[in-house]
């Protein structure tokens, strides 16, 4: 095994960032293709940047974000946060008491870990299910959670969404929606209503997902609840700072539903191109992926590498030879080794899919040629 520990992962990530730096310095940013789907956009003009002072920044940009955020999310009031996870934590700190129940319905497990972790922190009992018929709201429930679109982009059925909200409101229990990617995926691609328009009391989205914004969380919902949550947010330092608020504002303004829809049709075309040569690519809503196990099944040459190592080596070849950035090379320790090609990001829009397919094929051929030589593979990763 080549990658055996978190330290190995830190080291491989350092190497990946060095490769990215060299490509930018030698050939320019336009020679890189970030297909991770998490490209952390930061759109800002020089005059806006000059206003980024501790108190001037929020005065200008938080005010502007109220209007733009409500248009995007619905609801009565907007609260910008450091991350989606921060918004989930703050909501649970504000609304969930020790010993009470929190119940969560989502299309497919697993839930984002910030939800059970936050419940544990306040001493609440947490229940989750992805079987609608099994979803119930017991007595002594303080919060009902719905995930609009899961981490793997599985989207909830809109009728079930409405029914869960109805069940909660019959018992006067507030509903928080984790709409990290769902706020755009559900509404634009699946033609569903915004969470707040479906009756959600609180909805949170990630401004880094399926839009050209920074890593951050954008909360919308009932003003009375947002005010309670905002107290916790400020007490514990969970709020978005002025530079992030500015980039959120411009990220939402530059969000294009059309591009998102285009990536959804382009993924079918791309899948067909790759499917001619490979058997183990799968479609995601906005691109394709190959899992480490799938990659291993593509290989009929003798080797001693683990499935994850195969994905790491291929991800590094894609980066070094073609400037194509995928998660296994640059991801944090513990990130999935699945190689995803996300077609909804800026760098993907102008790519020729046949050309991208050829680059993936020749990277795979190079993987086959080095796979028997473990030292060579180590050199590629480190």
- Return residues touching ligand PLP (CB under 6 A): 83-85, 112, 147, 150-151, 178, 180-181, 206, 215, 217
Closest CB to ligand PLP among residues 147, 296: 147
Closest CB to ligand PLP among residues 106, 317: 106
Closest CB to ligand PLP among residues 209, 359: 209
123 half-sphere exposure, CB direction, 13 A CA radius: 3
Closest CB to ligand PLP among residues 9, 320: 9
| Least CB distance to ligand PLP at residue 330 (A) | 15
Ordered DSSP codes for 218-278: EEEE-HHHHHHHHHHHHHTT-BPPHHHHHHHHHHHHT--HHHHHHHHHHHHHHHHHHHTT-
- Distance CA(382)–CA(380), nearest Å, equals 6
| Least CB distance to ligand PLP at residue 297 (A) | 27
Closest CB to ligand PLP among residues 85, 250: 85
Question: Do β-strands 339-342 and 287-290 pair in parallel, antiparallel, or remain unpaired?
Answer: antiparallel
Residues 6+ apart with CB under 8 A from 35: 287, 324, 325, 326, 340, 341, 342, 343, 345, 347, 348
| Least CB distance to ligand PLP at residue 6 (A) | 18
Question: CA 349, 24, 38, 311 torsion: positive or negative?
Answer: positive
Closest CB to ligand PLP among residues 80, 217: 217
Which of these, 316, 287, 315, 311, lies nearest to 297 by C-alpha position? Answer: 311
| Least CB distance to ligand PLP at residue 179 (A) | 8
| Least CB distance to ligand PLP at residue 180 (A) | 3
Lateral strand order in the sheet of 77-81:
77-81, 217-221, 202-206, 175-178, 141-147, 101-105, 125-129
| Least CB distance to ligand PLP at residue 37 (A) | 10
How big is the chain, counted in residues? 382
Q: Provide the H-helix boundaries in the chain.
A: 6-27, 46-49, 56-73, 84-95, 114-122, 158-170, 182-184, 223-235, 242-253, 257-275, 292-297, 307-322, 327-330, 346-349, 353-370, 374-381
Question: CA 154, 299, 345, 245 torsion: positive or negative?
Answer: positive
| Least CB distance to ligand PLP at residue 244 (A) | 11
Closest CB to ligand PLP among residues 150, 259: 150
| Least CB distance to ligand PLP at residue 90 (A) | 12
Closest CB to ligand PLP among residues 112, 230: 112
Closest CB to ligand PLP among residues 101, 205: 205
| Least CB distance to ligand PLP at residue 18 (A) | 25
| DSSP-assigned beta bridge partners for residue 80 | 218
Q: Name the DSSP class of 133.
A: G
Q: Name the DSSP class of 352.
A: -
Question: Do β-strands 141-147 and 175-178 pair in parallel, antiparallel, or remain unpaired?
Answer: parallel
- Distance CA(261)–CA(41), nearest Å, equals 19
| Least CB distance to ligand PLP at residue 333 (A) | 15
Closest CB to ligand PLP among residues 187, 206: 206
């Amino acid at each position: 095994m080549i990658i055996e520990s978190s330290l190995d992962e830190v080291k491989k990530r350092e190497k990946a960032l060095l490769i990215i730096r060299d490509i930018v310095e030698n050939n320019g940013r336009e020679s890189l293709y970030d297909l991770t789907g998490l490209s952390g956009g930061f759109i800002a003009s020089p005059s806006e940047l000059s206003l980024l002072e501790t108190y001037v920044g929020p005065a200008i940009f938080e005010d502007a974000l109220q209007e733009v955020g409500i248009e995007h999310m619905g609801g009565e009031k907007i609260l910008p946060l450091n991350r989606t996870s921060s918004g989930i934590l703050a909501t649970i700190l504000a609304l969930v008491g020790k010993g009470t129940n929190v119940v969560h319905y989502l299309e497919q497990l697993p839930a984002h870990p910030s939800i059970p972790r936050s419940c544990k922190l306040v001493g609440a009992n947490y229940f989750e299910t992805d079987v609608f018929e099994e979803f119930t709201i017991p007595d002594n429930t303080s919060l009902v959670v719905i995930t609009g679109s899961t981490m793997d982009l599985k989207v909830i059925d809109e009728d079930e969404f409405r029914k869960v909200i109805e069940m909660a409101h019959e018992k006067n229990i507030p509903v928080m929606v984790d709409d990290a990617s769902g706020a755009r995926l559900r509404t634009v691609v699946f033609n569903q209503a915004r969470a707040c328009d479906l009756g959600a009391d609180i909805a949170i989205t990630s401004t880094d997902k399926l839009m050209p914004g920074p890593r951050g969380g954008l909360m919308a919902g009932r003003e009375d609840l947002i005010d309670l949550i905002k107290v916790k947010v400020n007490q514990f330092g969970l709020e978005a700072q002025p530079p992030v608020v500015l980039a959120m504002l411009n990220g939402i303004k530059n969000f294009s539903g059309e591009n998102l829809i285009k990536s959804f049709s382009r993924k079918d075309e791309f899948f067909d191109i790759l499917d001619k040569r490979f058997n183990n690519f799968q479609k995601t809503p906005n691109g394709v992926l190959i899992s480490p196990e799938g990659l291993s099944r593509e290989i009929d040459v003798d080797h001693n590498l683990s499935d994850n190592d195969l994905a790491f080596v291929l991800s590094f070849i894609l980066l070094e030879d073609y400037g194509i950035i995928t998660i296994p090379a640059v991801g944090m320790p513990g990130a999935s080794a699945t190689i995803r090609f996300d077609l909804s990001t800026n760098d993907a829009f102008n790519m020729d899919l046949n050309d991208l397919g050829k680059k993936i094929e020749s990277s795979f051929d190079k993987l086959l040629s080095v796979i028997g030589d473990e030292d060579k593979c180590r050199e590629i990763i480190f």
